[in-house]
Amino acid sequence: MKIIKLKNIKDWEKFKKEASAGNELIIFKFSPICGVSFYAENIFQNWVDNLQESKRISLSKVNVITARKLSLQIARELNVTHESPQVIWLKTDLSIKWNASHYNIKETEMDKNLVYCN
């Protein structure tokens, strides 16, 4: 599945519209200079690589260094603590379905949230 890189507020606003098409949204926030982010990104990417195309999910990534303003905006808007690495999974109504950071980002946990994404 394709992962959209969100770089600014305009990208974020466009990405959110995927929910109105019936897709749940996943935002993966990371820092390219952090070892834990690198570790979590590998887990996330491996999970994405094994996703069935039929899942109603739209995927995105946010670099918290180059898109810091956006990363902070997402945290404020969704009322979550800004962390990196972080996965924020949104339902189609843009409410939070699941949120995890650092070593709590696991394929098994993400799989649990796939149940209703068909």
CATH of the domain at 43: 3.40.30.10
For 31, the token pair is: 């820092």
Whole-angstrom distance, CA of residue 62 vs CA of residue 22: 22
| pLDDT number for residue 23 | 93
CA distances (Å), origin 44, targets 3, 26, 36: 11, 11, 12
For 102, the token pair is: 């650092």
Q: Domain range holding 51?
A: 3-112
Q: What is the pTM of this model?
A: 0.94
| pLDDT number for residue 99 | 96
Report the number of distinct structural domains present in the chain: 1
- 64 assigned to some structural domain: yes
- 88 assigned to some structural domain: yes
pLDDT tens digits, one per residue of 61-85: 999 999 999 999 999 999 999 999 9
